[in-house]
């Protein structure tokens, strides 16, 4: 089961997090919360498998200083 670990403010931030998590070996999926045709400015959910949530959250917390 996929679980939301972060809601990014836009697609650009979500894509950076996806790359970061994937580089660390996580499976990552993105889900737009609104219509994607609005300049990619819609919030985007970043999801990982439920079994990887704790580890992904640690990486996200650390990376927020960088992003």
Render pLDDT for 7-30 as a digit per residue (tens, 0 to 9). 999 999 999 999 999 999 999 999
Q: For residue 66, what pLDDT is reported?
A: 59
Contacts of 54 (CB under 8 A, 6+ apart): none
Rounded Cα–Cα distance for residues 60 and 46 (Å): 10
4/60 Cα distance (integer angstroms)? 12
| Residue (of 23, 60, 24, 25) closest to 45 by Cα position | 60
Which tokens belong to 1? 């089961």
**What's this model's pTM, rounded to 2 decimal places?**
0.85
Ordered domains of the chain (ranges, CATH)? 2-63 (3.30.70)
Mean confidence (pLDDT) of the chain: 89
């Amino acid at each position: 089961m996929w679980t939301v670990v972060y809601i990014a403010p836009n697609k650009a931030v979500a894509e950076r997090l996806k790359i970061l998590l994937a580089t660390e070996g996580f499976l990552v999926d993105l889900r737009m919360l609104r219509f994607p045709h609005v300049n990619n400015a819609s919030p985007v959910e970043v999801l990982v498998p439920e079994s990887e949530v704790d580890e992904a959250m640690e990486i996200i917390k650390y990376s927020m200083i960088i992003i």
